Amino acid sequence: MSNAKLWGGRFQATNEEWVDSFGASISFDQALVLEDIQGSLAHVKMLGATGILPEADVSLITEGLQTLMEQAKNDQLVYTVANEDIHLNIEKLLHDLIGPVAGKLHTGRSRNDQVATDMHLYLLKQVPLATELITKLQTVLIDLAEQHIHTVMPGYTHLQRAQPISFAHHLMAYFWMLERDKGRFEDSIKRIDLLPLGAGALAGTTFPIDRHLSAELLGFSKPYANSLDAVSDRDFSVEYLSNAALVMMHLSRFCEELILWSSDEFKFIELSDTFATGSSIMPQKKNPDMAELIRGKTGRVYGDLVGLLTVLKGLPLAYNKDMQEDKEGVFDTAHTLEGALTIMAGMIETMTVNVAHLEATTKQDFSNATELADYLAAKQLPFRQAHEIVGQLVLFCIQNNIYLADLSLETLQAAHPLFEADIFTVLQPETAVARRNSYGGTGFEQVKAQIHEAKALLA
């Protein structure tokens, strides 16, 4: 095989080297080498089964591809920009190995359906990996939540203390976010589980191929029903990026809380030294860099999603060279997501929860104010009237530098005679949490039930 382009028959001039370099994708699509060879092995087997290629050619090509597969697994293959992409590089390497018969492998297919097939195969591996890592993180959350069902902390709205809650309840909120993330990934499989191979460049092929056999050999449920759609569809990649972006958004929100909670201002937790770094100039510093990196890398994944949507938004059917830009963002996101989920699980599993400090904070705020209003409302005072009375009591406390639990019964009864001595039990943060026993609430019994439900889901 000469050094001329495999597609260069009608060309009289060759590209300059820098043009080749600009147009080549081998620097990144070599990540698809195993998928590319896997697709080729199925394709040549189908060509043999349909009688398109003689058995001798099929055997020789198959043997050559299996050799390349082993070399690829051992990082022994050498790629060149001159051969542009992973497909032409593999074809050239196969030619060097078995001779001109390697050229028969491309019968009945195009690089257009070949690259689409590679990406489907790639994401069929990446999606289960993502769900596996999500499940591991969920397991870590459940384990920590079980240890802190009765740990009381301030719950927040607007980053202002709102009502006391169980620390386990806060952790489990992220469990359910991740459960939805996992469900989206699992649902996306049915749209990745379509085979483009055999669609050709855009119109199918004149050879009597068996696309359903190719699908069966590669483990796909079925081939695309429309050849134009098969080579131009990148919805499945967009969906993967979108699902990953949602996961990263959830991780980023959690990381923001870990960053706040580990600060001297909060002191709710301490991150393990394993997941923190120091300062080059300030000896006392312990920085939550891993949490900050996950938060930062979320923007990177968003960029990958927007980048691919932008590439696709104006493309006519079917394949266009623009679509070469569909891969790097997917590879980058897959790498980022794997790292973020793994780091997140490690941070949660090894952090220290400052239980005493958490619980002390709930006794030094007005997060029990709603308990007073609910107390009066339960005695049939209209809630809006109860709300106003308690608001006035809070103002009185602020003016006198005290908290609601510091008020005397006489002061409370002066505000409204419905207050009785049991109000001081109601005002305790532990009581406030325990009483919120509606389904999905922060009540200790409800949190136990929630954890039980979560465990059943994972099981």
**The two structure tokens encoding residue 427:** 């005002």
Is 447 within a domain? no
Judge whether residue 8 has pLDDT over 90.
no
| pLDDT band with cut points at 50, 70 and 90 for residue 18 | low
H helix runs in 210-327, sequence order = 211-218, 227-232, 235-261, 289-312
Is there a catalytic annotation at residue 158? yes
CA atoms of 114 and 101, how far apart (whole Å): 19
Catalytic residue, from 158, 280, 408, 438: name it: 158
Same-domain check for residues 77 and 117: no
Same-domain check for residues 148 and 184: yes
Q: Identify the pLDDT of residue 22.
A: 80
Beta carbons within 8 Å of 278's beta carbon, 6+ residues apart: 285, 286, 287
Is 439 within a domain? no
pTM summary value = 0.92
Q: Summarize pLDDT for 376-422 with one digit per residue, the tens.
A: 999 999 999 999 999 999 999 999 999 999 999 999 999 999 999 99
Q: Summarize pLDDT for 19-62 with one digit per residue, the tens.
A: 667 878 999 999 999 999 999 999 999 999 999 999 999 999 99
Judge whether residue 456 has pLDDT over 60.
yes
Judge whether residue 264 has pLDDT over 60.
yes
- Of 61, 88, 107, the last residue of a domain is 107
Q: Summarize pLDDT for 314-335 with one digit per residue, the tens.
A: 999 999 999 999 999 999 999 9
Judge whether residue 14 has pLDDT over 90.
no
In this structure, what CATH number is given to the domain that contains residue 34? 1.10.275.10
Contacts 24+ apart (CB under 8 A), 88-94: 88/6, 89/26, 89/30, 90/33, 90/36, 90/37, 90/40, 91/6, 92/1, 92/6, 93/68, 94/61, 94/64, 94/65, 94/68
Beta carbons within 8 Å of 13's beta carbon, 6+ residues apart: none
Q: CA angle 346-351-354, nearest 5°?
A: 165
Write down the mean pLDDT value for the chain: 95
CA atoms of 396 and 220, how far apart (whole Å): 69
Q: Identify the pLDDT of residue 321.
A: 94
Is 317 within a domain? yes
Same-domain check for residues 51 and 159: no
Catalytic residue, from 263, 279, 335, 452: name it: 279
Q: Identify the pLDDT of residue 1.
A: 45
Q: Identify the pLDDT of residue 151.
A: 98
**The two structure tokens encoding residue 9:** 């028959």
> Rounded mean pLDDT of 175-183?
98
Q: Identify the pLDDT of residue 15.
A: 62
Judge whether residue 294 has pLDDT over 70.
yes
Same-domain check for residues 144 and 38: no
Same-domain check for residues 150 and 49: no
Is 98 within a domain? yes
Please give the residue range of the domain that contains residue 73.
8-107
- Of 80, 107, 134, the last residue of a domain is 107
Same-domain check for residues 71 and 139: no
- Of 340, 360, 380, the last residue of a domain is 360
| pLDDT band with cut points at 50, 70 and 90 for residue 283 | confident
Same-domain check for residues 343 and 242: yes
Find, among 184, 238, 192, 187, the residue nearest to 218 by Cα.
Answer: 192
Q: How many structural domains comprise the chain?
A: 3
Is there a catalytic annotation at residue 25? no
13 or 315: which carries more pLDDT confidence? 315
> Rounded mean pLDDT of 108-127?
98
Q: Are 271 and 262 in contact (CB under 8 A)?
A: yes
> Rounded mean pLDDT of 129-133?
98
